[in-house]
């Protein structure tokens, strides 16, 4: 029950859902998530730690930067299922679509090797 509540509580905030939907396009550096959500770094860090606590995302460190990505299917089936549910029910959502467009523009301006935006 605790595990499920961790997931549903993690999903009960709009900014965290937006972050998850953006991660559909691949891993992101924290600084990019901060810019996309337009929130204070400390706030975004907290959000991401809640998503991580719920096993919805995983992290990778590269030098000064931390990258977040959606959790592996194998590592957490329940998480993958519910993210799929979110995706199918939010693909037409205006905010999610705007985020996606904005994110693509953002990505095209930068190399993918490491975070050049920070």
Partner DNA sequence: AATACATTTCGTCATATGGCGAATTGACGG
Partner DNA sequence: CCGTCAATTCGCCATATGACGAAATGTATT
Instruction: Tell me whether residue 12 or residue 88 sits nearer to DNA (CB atom).
Output: 12
Q: Which of 19-27, 42-50, 74-82, 91-99 is the region at the interface with DNA (rule: CB under 7 A)?
A: 42-50
Q: Which of 51-59, 67-75, 78-86, 108-116 is the region at the interface with a second copy (rule: CB under 8 A)?
A: 78-86
Close Cβ partners of 107 (under 8 Å, ≥ 6 residues apart): 25
**Distance between CA atoms of residues 91 and 87, nearest Å:** 6
Instruction: Tell me whether residue 48 or residue 79 sits nearer to DNA (CB atom).
Output: 48
Half-sphere exposure of 13 (CA within 13 A, CB side): 16
What is the footprint of DNA within residues 12-41 (CB under 7 A)? 12-13, 15-16, 29-31, 34, 39-41
The angle subtended at Cα 24 by Cα 18 and Cα 26, nearest 5°, is 120
């Amino acid at each position: 029950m605790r595990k499920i509540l961790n997931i549903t509580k993690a999903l009960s905030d709009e900014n965290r859902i937006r972050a998850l939907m953006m991660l559909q396009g691949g891993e992101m550096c924290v600084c990019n998530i901060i810019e996309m959500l337009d929130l204070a770094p400390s706030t975004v860090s907290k959000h991401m730690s809640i998503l991580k606590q719920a096993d919805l995302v995983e992290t990778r460190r590269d030098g000064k930067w931390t990258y977040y990505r959606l959790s592996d299917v194998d590592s957490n089936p329940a998480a993958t299922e519910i993210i799929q549910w979110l995706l199918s029910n939010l693909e037409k959502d205006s905010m999610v679509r705007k985020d996606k467009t904005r994110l693509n523009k953002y990505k095209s301006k930068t190399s993918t090797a490491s975070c050049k935006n920070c």
